[in-house]
Chains A and B, each alone.
Chain A
Amino acid sequence: MMNITCPFCGKRNESEFIHGGPVGAVRPDPNAVSDEEWVEYLTVTPNPLGPVQEKWWHARGCGEWFSIWRDTRTHDIVEAPDGTT
C-alpha cells in the first residue's frame, strides 16, 4: 500500500484514493480525427516500464483529482503534485 501525496491533504494511504488511469493523449476533436486515430485515443494508453504519469482521486479524502509520476518498476513516486518525491 503506497503512501500518496495529495496536493491538499499531504501523504495518505493508497486506500484513500481511487486510481484514475494513466494520463493519455489529449481528447481529439471527435469530428476531426480518423477512425484509426479515434480508436488509438480510446484504447492505447501509456504503459511504460518506468515512470508513468497517472491520475488519482482522493475519494476518501478531500475529493481532489490530481496526477503523479510513478515508476511502475519500483512504485516510487518520482514526482508528486507538490514537486516532492
Chain B
Amino acid sequence: MSYDVTIERCGQKALFDLKGALDAVSQWAGDALPSLPIRPNSRTEEDGIELFHIGRDHWITRAPLAQEDAIEARLKPTDCPADISIVRVSDTMTFFCIVGPDAGQVMSIACPMDLHDSVFRTDAVSYTEVFGLKALVMRCQDGIEFAVEQSFADMVEDYLIRATA
C-alpha cells in the first residue's frame, strides 16, 4: 500500500501583508477586517476572511481572490499611516492542501515541526520548514494546508509526487 492522501495545488487567493503595532493596525483596518488574532501563530476567520498572526507585529489576511480589489479599497495600502505597512502579496505564495488519513505521515516527511493535534491545534498557523523551504503551515479540513514562495511551487509539487509515489 502507499499513502492514502490527495494533494491539491490550490488556486490563488487574495493576500495582504499587515505590519505594525496591534492597535495601529486594528484602528486603521477598522471593520474592513475581522478582529486581529493576538496569540502568536494563531488565526481567526469571519465570513471567508482569515487573519494569521505569524510574526511580531505581523499579520497576513487571506480572502477569496474575488474580494482582492474590494479589500484593497477598504485597506487603502497607499494611504495608511507611516507606522503601519499594508502590502498586497496575493501572488507571492502558492498553497497546497494535503488531505486524507495519511496526511500527517506525508507532512512528517516534509516538515520538522510537531503537527500533533495536541500541540498544533485547529486554529494554529505558523511559518516553518517544508522540504527545507520557508512555508506557512496550518490545518484544513481532514489535513494540512501549507504555502511556499510562489517561485518554488513546481519544486514542491515534484517533491510531493515523489513522496507519495
Q: Decide: B54 and A16 in contact? CB cutoff 8 A.
A: no
Picked from B58, B113, B133, B135, the residue with its CB within 8 Å of the CB of A62 is B58
Q: Decide: B54 and A62 in contact? CB cutoff 8 A.
A: yes
A-side contacts of B58, CB under 8 Å: 62-63
- For chain A, what secondary structure do more than half of its interface residues adopt (helix, strand, loop), or is it mixed? loop
- For chain B, what secondary structure do more than half of its interface residues adopt (helix, strand, loop), or is it mixed? strand
Picked from A8, A60, A64, the residue with its CB within 8 Å of the CB of B128 is A60
A60 vs B112: C-alpha distance when bound (angstroms): 12
Which residues of chain B (9-57) have a CB below 8 Å from chain A? 40-41, 54-56
A63 vs B136: C-alpha distance when bound (angstroms): 12
A16 vs B127: C-alpha distance when bound (angstroms): 9
**Closest CB in chain A relative to B4 CB, distance in Å:** 27
Q: With an 8 A cutoff between CB atoms, is A12 at the interface?
A: yes
A16 vs B128: C-alpha distance when bound (angstroms): 7
Q: Decide: B127 and A61 in contact? CB cutoff 8 A.
A: yes
Q: With an 8 A cutoff between CB atoms, is A84 at the interface?
A: no
A62 vs B41: C-alpha distance when bound (angstroms): 9
**Most central of B40, B58, B127, B129 by chain A CB within 10 Å:** B127
Residue pairs across A and B with CB atoms within 8 Å: the count is: 46
Q: Decide: A16 and B129 in contact? CB cutoff 8 A.
A: yes
A13 vs B112: C-alpha distance when bound (angstroms): 7
Nearest A-chain residue to B41, judged by Cβ: A9
Q: Decide: B40 and A9 in contact? CB cutoff 8 A.
A: yes
A58 vs B40: C-alpha distance when bound (angstroms): 14
Nearest B-chain residue to A14, judged by Cβ: B112
- Chain B 95-114, CB within 8 Å of chain A: the 1/0 string? 00000000000000000110
B-side contacts of A9, CB under 8 Å: 40-41, 126-127
Q: With an 8 A cutoff between CB atoms, is B134 at the interface?
A: yes
A60 vs B55: C-alpha distance when bound (angstroms): 12
A-side contacts of B41, CB under 8 Å: 8-9, 62
